[in-house]
Structure 1
Amino acid sequence: MKVGLMGGTFDPVHIGHLLAAQSVCEEAGLDEVWFMPTNVPPHKEQTPGATPKQRLDMVSLAVEGHPKFRATDFELRKGGVSYSIETVTMLCEQYPEYHFYYIIGADMVRYLPKWFKIDELVKLVTFVGLERPGFDPGVNELPEKIRESLLMVRMPQIELSSTMIRERRAMNLSVRYMVPDRVNEYIEVNQLYDA
């Protein structure tokens, strides 16, 4: 079983996340992609947004009905800071017959050597970097061990971020078509990201 891991705050999840997962699913021949909202990301400032439960609810709504996508509360249940090595080690112990593919943005590829316990991590997963036209992720400068554990995948380009969605909501602008319809309804009903 080949399983893609898509971590992130998903505050909120948007169609860019879903496009990325679909692209990796097809190009890497994955059986499933697990969307894992992080509890506390190690490299981001905590900004007030949706609660962990609301972020998981939105991810669940976004992937509902997709035969290969699923939402998991694995990192939220684990608690604490979400270090990739801890999550991956636990997943490999729980699912020894699975091979995991860790999906990251093109901008994260060049920082892989700085990741916590990267030497252990590259033995456990295949990293999948999402290519971006005109952006050099620095693959050739990576140490060989990391390069050997990295697959680059193309995806349709879309200029969209969770930050942009929160900012639009704060300005009382629509985020329809930027997030799945059910997520949009959830945001409106729960008055998330309002000014």
Structure 2
Amino acid sequence: MVKKTVLTHPVLSTELRTQILGKNKRRQVGLFGGTFNPVHTGHLVMADQVGNQLGLDKVCFMPDATPPHVDKKSAIAAKYRVEMLAAAISGNPMFDLELCEVERGGISYSYDTVAYLKHKHPDTDYYFIIGADMVNYLPKWHRIDELVKMVQFVGVKRPGYTPRTTYPVLWVDAPKLEITSTAIRKRVANGESIHYLVPDAVAAYIEKEGLYRE
């Protein structure tokens, strides 16, 4: 009886095993920034659609400390906005929180944030999610020409906005829900229902903390 010779190569087998397990695969992570004052159902639908259509590993909700807009929003403390986000995303394993802007404080420039995250996670490709209405403002973004080389912008289509720009934007279709944080704050202040406009856990948190009453 002739014995079969089995050739082994520990280094090669380890490499193959690593490839099979996908350990060399770069992570694909969406960044969804905003004030989230408060987070609402429209935000969640938008993030879920982008994450699933692009096959992302994670979509990270990234609340800002101070929005870098000329018409600055009057936002409640980051503590409340972060806790509402945590409550809203708890049921979706694809969702996560990225708190680097809140922890850094001050005005949140996307260039600084992306540079920090790419340095911290060199194995990750980032997709910056924005609404179609925000695409028109890209020329005014801080260091935009450098930023577009660092991250893939994802524009979510919406009625009334033409999906056209000179910047490299990946366009995604998603149901558009006519819900705004401004309208929710007004409804709370007027004692009106926000049921289904925000997750139940967020509505309960707003009630418990007495937010947006004035």
Question: Could you say which TM-score interval applies, normalised by the shorter chain?
Answer: over 0.9
Q: Which has the higher mean CA deviation after the structures are superposed, 128-137 or 77-86?
A: 128-137
- The percentage of counterpart residues that share the same residue type is 48
- Residue from 193, 199, 205 that aligns with 1:174: 193
| In structure 1, C-alpha distance between the alignment counterparts of 2:62 and 2:79, rounded to whole Å | 12
Higher-Rg structure is 2
Partner of 2:14: none
- Residue from 58, 72, 89 that aligns with 1:45: 72
Partner of 1:118: 144
| In structure 1, C-alpha distance between the alignment counterparts of 2:160 and 2:173, rounded to whole Å | 12
Q: Retained in 1: the 8 A contact 2:163–2:171?
A: no
SS at match of 2:149: helix
| Cα distance, 1:45 vs structure 2 | 1.3
| In structure 2, C-alpha distance between the alignment counterparts of 1:162 and 1:122, rounded to whole Å | 28
- Residue from 24, 27, 44 that aligns with 2:53: 27
Matched, 1:55 2:81: yes
- Residue from 146, 151, 158 that aligns with 1:132: 158
Q: Which has the higher mean CA deviation after the structures are superposed, 114-123 or 87-96?
A: 114-123
Q: Retained in 2: the 8 A contact 1:110–1:137?
A: no
| Cα distance, 1:137 vs structure 2 | 4.1
| Cα distance, 1:134 vs structure 2 | 3.4
Q: Retained in 2: the 8 A contact 1:107–1:137?
A: no
**Number of matched pairs:** 187
| In structure 1, C-alpha distance between the alignment counterparts of 2:130 and 2:160, rounded to whole Å | 17
Measured against aligned partners, the alpha-carbon deviations of 1:47-90 in whole angstroms (never above 9, x if no partner) come to: 1x431100000000011021110122211001110000000000
| Cα distance, 1:46 vs structure 2 | 3.7
| In structure 2, C-alpha distance between the alignment counterparts of 1:108 and 1:137, rounded to whole Å | 11
| In structure 1, C-alpha distance between the alignment counterparts of 2:73 and 2:161, rounded to whole Å | 28
Q: CA RMSD in A?
A: 1.1
Measured against aligned partners, the alpha-carbon deviations of 1:101-130 in whole angstroms (never above 9, x if no partner) come to: 000010011221221101110111000001
Question: Aligned AA for 1:99?
Answer: D
Partner of 1:4: 30
| In structure 1, C-alpha distance between the alignment counterparts of 2:163 and 2:140, rounded to whole Å | 14
Partner of 1:163: 182
- Residue from 2, 9, 13 that aligns with 2:39: 13
- For structure 2, the 5+ residue unaligned runs are 1-26
Question: Aligned AA for 1:152?
Answer: W
Any residues of structure 2 matched to 1:72-111 within 5 Å, and which? 72-111=98-137
